[in-house]
Amino acid sequence: MSALLEVSGVSKSFDGFKAIDNLSFSIGEPELRAIIGPNGAGKTTFMDLVTGKTRPDSGTIRYGSASQDLTKMSEARIARAGIGRKFQKPTVFDDQTVTENLTMALKSPRSPFTVLMRRPSLVERAAEVADQVGLRGDMGRRAGTLSHGQKQWLEIGMLLAQEPRLLLVDEPAAGMTAAERERTTAMLVEAAKSRAVVVIEHDMEFVRRLKCRVSVLHEGRVLAEGSLDHVCADPRVIDVYLGR
């Protein structure tokens, strides 16, 4: 596993408040990583920095084999370089079918589909992606009629259609039923076999099922890192996060 993302000495303040404080952090490829930590720890700001939504005050964020510095790239270029982000709320097109949503994602300029030599039709490729996210039997349904969990899966599918190298996912389990959470776990574990997937999550049971390395963020720094059991036994983590 080699490093795909290397964050070094990154700081970001808002009105004098250090949201990210000399953060250093790296993600391998492939890898599944969970980021946990109390509210205000800097988890969202971290994702904003990686995707170029926010610029750091200092530090570098190197990405990919050419070690491009993401802090010098536009949001659009970062997305085209293979970094996808899923926000908490699904942003699918309700009046379009699952197939239409997926083909739209496949046709986007971010997607490598249009330049690939292999030529399954768009709909065949959409069906493959629908399979990956458990929506094969729902391809003709309008997205507006899907359950909350299915909408989240559709959005994950739309991101996977674009074949990201790094996928950032914000609280995928929020508002899901236990059965939906279980399927989401399997989906993310599978997706992380061939790419880096970083998940921000508060639901500890969900994190446990991901069976991955966990980074605990606190006051804009990594407070602890390792297996969930390892970080949960760390007195500093208990103090700032678990003991509350």
Q: Which residues bind ligand ADP (CB under 6 A)?
A: 14, 19, 37, 39-45
| 42 vs 134 by CB, closer to ligand ADP | 42
Q: CB 10 → ligand ADP: shortest distance, Å?
A: 13
| 31 vs 170 by CB, closer to ligand ADP | 170
Count each helix (H run) and each strand (E run) in the chain, helices first: 9, 10
Q: CB 37 → ligand ADP: shortest distance, Å?
A: 6
CA distance 10 to 18: 11
Q: Which residue has the tokens 């990405």?
A: 63
Q: CB 170 → ligand ADP: shortest distance, Å?
A: 8
| 37 vs 90 by CB, closer to ligand ADP | 37
Q: CB 40 → ligand ADP: shortest distance, Å?
A: 4
| 43 vs 181 by CB, closer to ligand ADP | 43
Per-residue burial over 217-242, b if 16 or more Cβ lie within 10 Å, else e, is bbebbbbbbeebeebbebeebeebbb
